[in-house]
């Protein structure tokens, strides 16, 4: 005789959910203090040097330099845009951010709402 046992499962937040307030607070704090963060982004581990946290079309974004992705350095160092909704397990590190010389906080794409900016 077999019995049907109920199985409990844990479901982590889906990608369609809004980011937690903690994630944006950690990113804003890291930008204010010019520190890198570690996070999961689209199922990959990254180290990010965040430069600006802003809203565009009602969604939160962060522009920064990915210093490491899944343990490897990227082929090209560039400023990229990441949607906050895709970030998970954001943790601030003690590694300082070296701002990119080409970063322009007055770029029109940041015009909607800036939440935090490096050197600001």
Four-way CATH pick for 21-117: 2.30.29, 2.30.30, 1.10.10, 3.80.10: 2.30.30
Spell out the residues 6+ positions from residue 109 whose beta carbon is closer than 8 angstroms to its own: 56
- In tens, the pLDDT along 10-22 reads 444 444 444 455 8
Alpha-carbon span 15 to 65, nearest angstrom: 22
Q: Is the dihedral of CA 72, 74, 75, 77 positive or negative?
A: negative
- In tens, the pLDDT along 69-119 reads 999 999 999 999 999 999 999 999 999 999 999 999 999 999 999 999 998
| H-state helical runs in the chain | 21-32
- In tens, the pLDDT along 15-55 reads 444 445 589 999 999 999 999 999 999 889 999 999 999 99
Q: Which residues of 44-78 are buried (b: 16+ CB within 10 A; e: fewer)?
A: eebbbbbbbbbeeeeebbbbbbbbeeeeeeeeeee
């Amino acid at each position: 005789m077999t019995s049907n046992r109920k199985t409990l499962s844990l479901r982590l937040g889906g990608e369609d959910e809004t980011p937690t307030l903690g994630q944006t607070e950690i990113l804003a704090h890291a930008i204010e203090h010019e520190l890198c963060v570690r996070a999961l982004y689209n199922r990959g581990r990254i180290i990010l040097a965040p430069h600006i946290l802003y809203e565009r079309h009602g969604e939160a974004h962060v522009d920064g330099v990915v210093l490491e992705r899944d343990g490897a350095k990227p082929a090209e160092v560039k400023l990229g845009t990441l949607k906050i909704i895709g970030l998970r397990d954001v943790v601030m590190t003690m590694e300082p951010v070296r701002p990119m010389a080409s970063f322009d906080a007055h770029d029109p794409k940041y015009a909607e709402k800036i939440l935090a900016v490096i050197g600001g």
